[in-house]
Each structure stands twice: as structure tokens, then as C-alpha cells.
Structure 1
Amino acid sequence: MPARFPAYRMQDGVTPLSADYFNPVLADLDARIAELEARRADLQGVIDDLTRFGLARIDTLIGPSMQAMSDMMADLQTRRDALVAALEGVGELATQAQVQAAIAAEQAERQAVIAAEAQRIDALTALVYAAL
């Protein structure tokens, strides 16, 4: 759009400050601004159409992939939960095995103490019979 400043230029002492001068200048400016605003509205409509088309294409192309990814994440979460539950069960089994081992060790220790006491009683009994 060409510049029209020379048509609007004022000169000291030459250009009168009156409605005859300013009304045509302001009318021209208003017409040019109205034309730009109309073009802007048309361009905004084109931009909106292009944006809708682009978003529709993105939904068409990426939507199935995103759904597949969401399904895969849900499947992995289910598997993770099952694995965590299984590992908790292994932890309980390990704890049960440790308890069983501790019980077995305690029983073995008590059996050894009982065997030692039995030997001591047998030795004392033998001494008592020998002294008689």
C-alpha cells in the first residue's frame, strides 16, 4: 500500500486548520483502516480454517498412535501391579523361610543341650553306681 503522507503534510502558514482540510484526510485514513480490518477478518478466517484442518490431520495421524500408547501404558501398569504383588509374596515366603530356619536352629540347639544334659546325668549315674 503506497504511503500518502505527502497528501497529509501540513505546512506552517500555508495549510489551514479547518474541517475542509481534516475531514478528507481523516476519511481517507478511516477508509484505509477499514480496508485493512476487512482483510484481517478474511485472513483470520483462512487462518482458522487452516488451523482446523491441521488439527484434524494431527488427530487423524496421531490419534491412533496415542490410543495405542495409552493401551500399552495401561497393560504395562497391570503387569507392574501383578509383578509387585508377586514380589510381595516372595518377600513373605522369604520371611517364612527365615522363621523356619530360625526355629530349626533353635530346636537343634535345644536338642544339643538335652543331649549334653543326658550325658552328664549318665556320667553322674555311673559314678553313683560305682560308689555303691
Structure 2
Amino acid sequence: MRIGQLSERTGTSRRLLRYYEEQGLILSDRAANGYRDYHEVTVDRVMQIRGLLDAGLPTRIIKQILPCLDQPRVIHFPDATPEMLATLEHEKARMTERIECLTRNRDAIGEYLLEVRARIGTRR
């Protein structure tokens, strides 16, 4: 697929996709006319990258852990510095906190909807 299609499917600007490619986070083939051509799996890869960026991880660490998200998994240890491991531990803890908060909020909204629906149903 071309960069415009990838941009539409992922909600990511073309400029940002080119940046991801410059950083080695995604790959493209080049057609004879110089256009980028992305494989279908790049859609999922871009969504993973965006999620990791949203979680606060810098691209240099994302580049190191992206292979761990593939199947089969390929894990690279040579670049694992104590700083990187500490950053990952911190970000993992932040993600866990966010998940717990989102779960509480989802459950509260669910309870609210049940209550509102029950009250609306009794008025009829």
C-alpha cells in the first residue's frame, strides 16, 4: 500500500510515517518510480508504535522492543542498558496504573448506564 493509504488506515500523518521510517521503526519497499510501498502488517506495526509513544516511551527504546512484539518473538539483549531497563519498568508500572484507572472508569460508566436504563424503564 502507498503512504497515503497507510496514513488513512492508521490515522497517522504522512510526515510522521516518514519519521518512523527514518528511525527504523517501519520499513517500506521502493517502487521503480520511487514511491514507498508498505506491507499490510505495517498497519499493526504503526498502531503498536503509536500506543507505545502514547505510553511515554521514546522512539529509541521502541525500536529495541518492537521485535519482542513480533511472532515469533526475537529479543535483542546487547543494547539493554540499566537505564533502558529502568525506563521500561517505570513505563510498565505507568501502563498498569492507567489500565487500572481505565477499568475503574469503564466499570463506573457501566454502573451508571445500568442505573439510568433501569430508571428510564420504570417511568414508561
- In the superposition, the TM-score normalised over structure 2's length comes to 0.36
Higher RCO (CA < 8 A, seq sep 6+)? 2
- In the superposition, the TM-score normalised over structure 1's length comes to 0.34
